[in-house]
Amino acid sequence: MEKEIKQLKKDLEQAIAKVNDVKSLNDLRVHYLGKKGKITGLKEMLKELSVEDKKTAGKLFNDFRQEATDLIEEKEINLKRKALDEQLITEKIDPTLGATEIKTGSIHPLDRTIKEVLDLFVSMGYDVVTGPEIESDEYNFARLNLPKDHPARDMQDSLYVATDYLLRTQTSPTQVRTMEENKAKGPIRMIAPGKVYRKDDDDATHSHQFMQIEALVVDENINLGHLKGTLELMVQTLFGKERKIRFRPSYFPFTEPSLEVDVSCFRCDGEGCSFCKESGWLEILGAGMVHPAVLEMSGYDKEKYSGFAFGLGVERLAMLKYGINDIRQFYQNHLHFLELFERIDKEGHK
């Protein structure tokens, strides 16, 4: 028996070595391990052996049959792997070839800037407010302490649609509307973005249409320090943690005191460079303490309440932040311009 097994094993090994595909291997399997297979045939020999010999030979037979099965299976795995390898090589690609072009959308830079500012202020408990773009003379001017024939009306050339209605020249009427809606009671924290219009010819720095964000805080004991702290937080959020602000006295009829606010130049850290015209500072917005007459006209008790307000130009902010030099770009919507804003931006806005 041992002899036969040895011979058969040799034959099998030679046969397996010669096989090159799965089909031939299957034939081979049948040839050796099938019902009438050569190995299966050995089983017949066992019948003729003594009980004692049968025991030894039986083990030999079983071991051999297992070994043969394993050998064929191993060969099968090898053959399949080889076949797959051959398949894979035909699927070879050049990963440096061009990708499928998938369109990317983008938020408009003005909306993006508004979102950044609003996110900050909403997180501080400010309510977002909107107001009409076609506004009454009353709300746009008179209720903001700018009666008819006030020389300060020259600061904003207006576009009228009727004797008493105009395209709002500023978002400040939202201050009045909010105070009114609040029924002259209790504290206010509001932020109001929107389009405004001036009778200006369009050029690199002027636009007859632009966007502003208005903020108003009214409460007991509001002071200029609060305005400063709030604006510092804002410029640090928008332009980086190191930014400082500077107040310069100014004049707006609806605030007293009135201030122009500068941010330390984020290109040169306030050292002075061509971007900030060597001054180290960039003008970003107008602000002040709400004029008592404005509080009063909206029904607020000026003895009990005080407030601060500011209005910032969204274009101005975006132009500074991204180094845009022509305000008309925002409204031309050149796709190459819009494309610039399809990606994220991390802090450190140099």
Sites for other proteins among residues 282-311 (CB under 8 A)? 289, 291-293, 306
Own/partner long-range contacts of 78-87 (Cβ < 8 Å, ≥24 apart): 79/19, 79/20, 79/21, 79/22, 79/25, 80/22, 83/22
Minimum distance from residue 163 beta carbon to other proteins (Å):
8
- The binding track of 74-113 with respect to other proteins, each residue x by CB under 8 A or -, is -----------------------xxxxxxxxxxxx-xx--
**How many positions of this chain bind other proteins (CB under 8 A)?**
90
- The span from the CA of 237 to the CA of 145, in Å, is 32
Minimum distance from residue 23 beta carbon to other proteins (Å):
36
Q: Which of residues 180-209 bind other proteins (CB under 8 A)?
A: 187, 189, 195, 197, 199-201, 208-209
Torsion of CA 167, 169, 174, 180, to 10 degrees: -80
- The span from the CA of 248 to the CA of 226, in Å, is 16
Length of the chain: 350
Q: Which of 4, 76, 232, 326 binds other proteins (CB under 8 A)?
A: 232
- The binding track of 241-260 with respect to other proteins, each residue x by CB under 8 A or -, is -----xxxxxx-x--xxxxx
Nearer to other proteins by Cβ, of 24 and 236: the residue is: 236
**Position 217 contacts other proteins (CB under 8 A):** yes
Closest CA to 294 of 310, 304, 307, 285: 307
Reading the block at residue 147, the tokens are: 């009666």
Minimum distance from residue 249 beta carbon to other proteins (Å):
3
- The span from the CA of 192 to the CA of 261, in Å, is 19
Nearer to other proteins by Cβ, of 50 and 333: the residue is: 333
Q: Which of residues 106-145 bind other proteins (CB under 8 A)?
A: 106-108, 110-111, 115, 118, 121-130, 132-134
Give 90's contacts (C-beta < 8 A, 6+ positions apart): none
* 288 neighbors 259 (Cβ within 8 angstroms): yes
Minimum distance from residue 232 beta carbon to other proteins (Å):
5
Phi, psi torsion values for 196, nearest 5 degrees: -135, 165
**Position 162 contacts other proteins (CB under 8 A):** yes
Q: Which of residues 38-57 bind other proteins (CB under 8 A)?
A: none
Minimum distance from residue 225 beta carbon to other proteins (Å):
3
